[in-house]
Amino acid sequence: MKKFLAFVAAVALVFGVGSVAYANYCATDVVPAATILYPFVQYNYTDPNNNTLFSVTNVSNEAVIVHFTLWTDYSVGVVDWNVVLSGYDVQTFSIRDILDNPGQLPSTGTGSTDGEWATQDQADGVGPIAHGLPASTSTTTLSGVCNPNFEAYPSFPPFPQQFKDFMSGLLTASQTVTRAHIDCNGATVVYGDWFEARTTADPTWMYITADVVYSCNKMFPGTGANYWVDGSTNTGTTPFDIASGPQAEYDNVLIGDIFYINDAQNFSEALNAVSLEADPNADQSPTFYQQYSNGTDYREPLPTGWAFRYLNQGSAMSTQIRVFKRASSTYKGYVGVHDLISDAGTGTAPTYLFADDTIPYSMYIWDEGEEALLWTGSTPPWSPSPKFCRINLFPLETQQVDISQFAVPFNSGWALLVYPPSNGVDDSYQVYVSTRHSAMGRYSAALQGAVIYNANCDPSQILP
């Protein structure tokens, strides 16, 4: 498959076979990518007015296969599916439609083969001006590696109620199972903070990944043995053989976005999804996928330090911090990061979730007069010296936490959130931060944080 290079003058797309151009690898910028991360998706089973829409767009002229995986907020894969996009195609999803009502994936269509934009002109004063845009390719060009009968593409059947119940059970587990905190001395303690207080009346949190792949497949990125094997080595001859063979692709052709909707209150916020470019020729840094791929995914790593503005005036004006985090390696007993312990396995809900209060992150909070508050653990200057621990307010893989949870004495200002290794702790995190600002129950807006450090790309980027 050809590699997407650039969007140049006269809206012409230029394609090449042997190389890929990158806006800035390791920059967390909004560019076409091989993986799209939707870092925070929410749905409220008790209030279906609360919904999330997300989309994926193929900006190249060639049809591509995109493999989606929906993950719980404790990083267990729930369901995966394939979308085949023709050239210049876009597909929008509603998480409410997938999980609950009606409980079905949308049909994706097959696209056009005649490239209308490439052939029309404006001779009659009505049609588009001919700019020589390359003709798009139809999804039928991928029929050999994406059998409609085998993969239920392009018209997906509805999920049976039993499967919908299975999904909701996994997704809401962090709101229902035993939840506790483990202090620095290893003792289990229970605090009355938001982590214990959440119930199924609150929105359910999750995240979603979308990867360009070689063929339609039924593999989770964390369990499929061939998912991260280079698809160009695939020698399968039937859809069944191909779908279980090598899948990894490095075509940077996808962009995405997310809309958070509240129909009842006429609220909406929007963000660009996270673009993770691929470069098989780059030195492989630790990545979000590395604990699954053993370093063969060649995606760019997420940052380790973020800055963002906040408002802290109760119901009048408030800020919710949305933090997605994963590690490039994993430890026994811990899930995707090293501050959450669970017994959840593949396709199973946990019976407990223990958050580690050793606080891997450091958060500095300033007001608008440069007064500062530090939220982190510390070690007293005497012996014995147990660490002083604050409650870990970001224990899950993805979550939304109000700024007021940090006992901030300021009305407004900015904050710096720093994860290992940028704060000097010997650990490896992949982090994405955005914020939701709301006012008077009438307005809301979502913003991406600003990247300050990325020690996964440059080990020297640590707190001074």
Helix (H, G, I), strand (E, B) or coil at 404: helix
The distance in angstroms from the start CA to the end CA of the chain is 45
Instruction: Provide the Cα torsion 87, 93, 98, 104; round to 10°.
Output: -50
pLDDT of residue 151: 55
CA 305 to the chain's CA centroid: 17
Asked if pLDDT for residue 10 goes beyond 50, the answer is no
Q: What is the DSSP letter of 114?
A: S
**Closest of 222, 250, 263 to residue 44, by C-alpha:** 263
> Does 464 fall in a domain?
no
> Does 250 fall in a domain?
yes
Instruction: Report the C-alpha gap between 167 and 148 in whole angstroms.
Output: 24
Helix (H, G, I), strand (E, B) or coil at 162: helix
Name the token pair of 358. Answer: 């050793």
Residues 209, 200 contacting (CB under 8 angstroms)? no
Instruction: Report the C-alpha gap between 95 and 256 in whole angstroms.
Output: 15
> Does 352 fall in a domain?
yes
pLDDT of residue 132: 57
Pairing of β 64-72 and β 77-85: antiparallel
pLDDT band at 118 (very low <50, low <70, confident <90, very high): very low
Mean pLDDT on 167-174? 96
Asked if pLDDT for residue 6 goes beyond 90, the answer is no
Mean pLDDT on 388-402? 88
pLDDT of residue 13: 35
Q: Which residues pair with 442 in a beta bridge?
A: none
pLDDT of residue 457: 92
Write down the residue that tokens 């300033």 correspond to.
Answer: 366
> Does 13 fall in a domain?
no
> Does 413 fall in a domain?
yes
> Does 289 fall in a domain?
yes
State phi, psi for 299 to the nearest 5 degrees: -90, 160
Identify how many contiguous H helices and E strands the chain contains and give both numbers: 8, 24
Asked if pLDDT for residue 2 goes beyond 70, the answer is no
Highest mean pLDDT among 233-242, 278-287, 361-370: 361-370
Contacts of 87 (CB under 8 A, 6+ apart): 58, 60, 61, 62, 63, 111, 134, 135, 136, 137, 138
pLDDT band at 175 (very low <50, low <70, confident <90, very high): very high
pLDDT band at 111 (very low <50, low <70, confident <90, very high): low
Q: Which residue has the higher pLDDT, 121 or 246?
A: 246
Q: Which residues pair with 162 in a beta bridge?
A: none
Mean pLDDT on 109-122? 47
Instruction: Write down the mean pLDDT value for the chain.
Output: 83
Neighbouring C-beta atoms of residue 126, cutoff 10 Å? 7
Rounded to two decimals, the pTM is: 0.90
pLDDT of residue 258: 98
> Does 459 fall in a domain?
no
pLDDT band at 391 (very low <50, low <70, confident <90, very high): confident
Instruction: Report the C-alpha gap between 394 and 356 in whole angstroms.
Output: 10
Mean pLDDT on 282-289? 85
Residues 169, 175 contacting (CB under 8 angstroms)? no
Name the token pair of 107. Answer: 């049909």
Residues 74, 174 contacting (CB under 8 angstroms)? yes
> Does 240 fall in a domain?
yes
Helix (H, G, I), strand (E, B) or coil at 455: coil
pLDDT of residue 347: 82
The domain total for the chain is: 1
Helix (H, G, I), strand (E, B) or coil at 58: strand
- The parent domain of residue 52 ranges over 29-453
**Exposure pattern of 259-291 as b/e (b: 16+ CB <10 Å)?**
bbbeeeeebebebebbbbbbbeeeebbbbbbbb
Instruction: Report the C-alpha gap between 403 and 81 in whole angstroms.
Output: 36
Instruction: Report the C-alpha gap between 151 and 239 in whole angstroms.
Output: 9
pLDDT of residue 309: 97
pLDDT of residue 135: 75
Helix (H, G, I), strand (E, B) or coil at 313: strand
Q: Which residue has the higher pLDDT, 257 or 370?
A: 257
List, for residues 248-283, the tens digit of each pLDDT value.
Answer: 999 999 999 999 998 888 889 999 999 999 999 888
Instruction: Report the C-alpha gap between 392 and 372 in whole angstroms.
Output: 19
